[in-house]
């Protein structure tokens, strides 16, 4: 991490905290060369997780996709974005814990349902009733992304 004033790479961390952005950390640093202080935002490197689709194809785990699916299920429910972000974060952490960096897509679907069940029963039933028609969470998420507004209304009923 280069000093913003003198370019020296020697600095010490004074303070460190997670920023609001997921996987990002805010550090207050002091340059050991010129002693000036500066703030950096550093990304926590996480290994990519592959989702194994029903047909055996792989696709990288996409937190935004999971979030969209959960938001859809939680529409008009008393569930905050902070709660939704927490669910997405928990699911990503569960996936990160997999030994071989690969997770079955059906497992992701189960995690989503589990999290929704703990949070809001109606959102859970709404998600589960639509999801169960799909064999594959990635197909379900593609459907959510591509479907027209009138299809989305059907899901919300």
| Residues in touch with Zn ion (CB under 5 A) | 3, 5-6, 8, 31, 33-34
Instruction: Tell me whether residue 31 or residue 61 sits nearer to Zn ion (CB atom).
Output: 31
Minimum distance of Zn ion from residue 34's CB (angstroms): 3
Instruction: Tell me whether residue 33 or residue 59 sits nearer to Zn ion (CB atom).
Output: 33
Minimum distance of Zn ion from residue 30's CB (angstroms): 9
Instruction: Tell me whether residue 8 or residue 98 sits nearer to Zn ion (CB atom).
Output: 8
Length of the chain: 157
Minimum distance of Zn ion from residue 94's CB (angstroms): 41
Minimum distance of Zn ion from residue 19's CB (angstroms): 23
For every residue of 67-126, which 3-state class applies, written as one string? HHHHHHHCCCCCCCHHHHHHHHHHHHHHHHCCCCCEEEHHHHHHHHHHHHHHHCHHHHHH
Instruction: Tell me whether residue 2 or residue 132 sits nearer to Zn ion (CB atom).
Output: 2
Task: Choose among 93, 84, 85: nearest CA to 61.
Answer: 93
Starting at the edge strand found earlier in the chain, the sheet holding 37-43 runs 11-18, 24-31, 37-43
């Amino acid at each position: 991490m280069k000093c913003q004033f003198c370019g020296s790479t020697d600095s010490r961390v004074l303070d460190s905290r997670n920023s609001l952005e997921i996987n990002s950390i805010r550090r207050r640093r002091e340059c050991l060369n010129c002693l000036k202080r500066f703030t950096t935002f550093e990304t926590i490197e996480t290994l990519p997780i592959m989702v194994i689709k029903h047909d055996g194809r792989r696709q990288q785990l996409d937190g935004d996709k999971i979030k969209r699916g959960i938001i859809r299920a939680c529409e008009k429910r008393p569930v905050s974005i902070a709660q939704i972000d927490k669910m997405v974060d928990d699911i990503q952490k569960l996936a990160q814990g997999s030994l071989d960096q690969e997770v079955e897509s059906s497992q992701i679907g189960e995690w989503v349902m589990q999290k929704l069940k703990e949070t809001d029963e109606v959102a859970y039933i709404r998600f589960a009733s639509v999801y169960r028609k799909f064999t594959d969470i990635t197909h379900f998420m593609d459907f959510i992304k591509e479907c027209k507004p009138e299809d989305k209304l059907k899901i919300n009923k």
